[in-house]
Amino acid sequence: MFTFGLIDNAILLLCLVAGTEIQDYLPVPRRFRCKAVGAALGALVGNAISDGVAGLTQGLYPAMMVTAGCLVVVPALFLTVRRLAAVNA
């Protein structure tokens, strides 16, 4: 179980760090482009990937469904940031 936890959190951490590096390319208003939004996106995607890898122990189809379920909420991040931009404009 130690190895699983190590791999799971390593994937999440790598995606979080990658997210902080791509914040300039995110489709959000310029004044809301920050490392926090990038990190949030990286964490959401990293969680989807690490949960999908964990789901492989149950089979390919369950892993794909878990990953899809995790990724469904990614647009909510952008909708929330855009709504904040509209409210604070």
For the chain of 89 residues, list the mean pLDDT of each consecutive stretch of 10.
81 89 78 80 90 88 92 87 73
Q: How many structural domains comprise the chain?
A: 1
- Residue 3 has a pLDDT of 79
- Residue 23 has a pLDDT of 78
- Residue 80 has a pLDDT of 83
- Residue 89 has a pLDDT of 62
Give the C-alpha separation, 81 to 68, whole Å.
Answer: 22
Give the C-alpha separation, 37 to 71, whole Å.
Answer: 16
- Residue 1 has a pLDDT of 67
Q: What is the residue range of 20's domain?
A: 2-87
